[in-house]
Amino acid sequence: MCCNIARVSGCLVMLSAAPLMAQDFDPALGVEAVSVLEDGRVLVRNGETAFGCDLVPKAGTVTLDDCVVRPPLDGEAAVLLFALSEQDWRAAVRDTLLDAQCRLSAFTAIGEVLAATAVANGVAPETIGGARAALSARAEAAVAQMLREGELSYRDGELALDACP
């Protein structure tokens, strides 16, 4: 077998989707492994749709089986957002500021970035639950890096995008 369950995301090329109804699964969008669920199933994303699936080892590959469409639950929603890269978070900060005419209150900016990022990734902000602090830390890290690199600044109690179109 190419990999173990802990390295599922590194084996995306080897995943193949098995018995799913055609109206639910779009093979043209590919399959992205997001996380291993508590029950041992794997959470995968096909475009914007999340599925909970069983992994079935085959000769040299892993097949998805018994996939069920599911909305992300609290922990799963957080996993989708934790999977975002540092560059994704920076883009989310930039996009949120652009949507707000390049300025946000310094007191609410992180919350607004987090909510906008959740919505942009198909996650209802209220489902983030207990992961909110950790996800806020990811957004804060992106803001801090952008401040250091001169992409953002604080002006009159607001966070401002310096290169505002």
Where does a domain end: 54, 70, 86? Answer: 70
Lowest mean pLDDT among 59-73, 83-97, 147-161: 59-73
Global model pTM greater than 0.85: no
| Domain identity same for 105 and 149 | yes
pLDDT tens track for 114-150:
888 888 877 777 777 667 777 888 899 999 999 999 9
- For residues 82 and 66, state if they share a domain: no
Pair (127, 83) in one structural domain:
yes
Residue-wise pLDDT for 49-73, tens only, equals 778 888 888 888 878 888 887 765 5
- Predicted local distance difference test score (pLDDT) of residue 142: 93
Q: Could you tell me if 21 and 55 lie in one domain?
A: yes
Question: Are 65 and 127 part of one and the same domain?
Answer: no
Place of tokens 């001169």: 150
Among 70, 95, 118, which residue terminates a domain? 70
User: Do residues 134 and 104 lie in contact, with contact meaning Cβ atoms separated by under 8 Å?
Assistant: no
CB distance 120 to 86 below 8 Å: no
Which residue, among 9, 11, 68, 3, has the nearest Cα to 39 in the 3D structure?
68
- Same domain, yes or no: 113 and 149: yes
CA proximity to 15, closest of 37, 38, 45, 40: 45
- Supply the pLDDT for residue 60: 83
- The pLDDT of 92-108, averaged and rounded, is 92
**Are residues 52 and 82 both part of a single domain?**
no
In a shared domain, residues 81 and 153: yes
| Whether residue 153 is found in the same domain as residue 118 | yes
Give residue 153's domain range: 77-161
Give the total number of structural domains in the chain. 2
Are residues 142 and 82 both part of a single domain? Answer: yes
Q: How far apart are CA 100 and CA 158, in angstroms?
A: 11
Give residue 8's pLDDT: 42
Burial class of 8 by CB neighbour count within 10 A (0 to 12, 13 to 18, 19+): buried
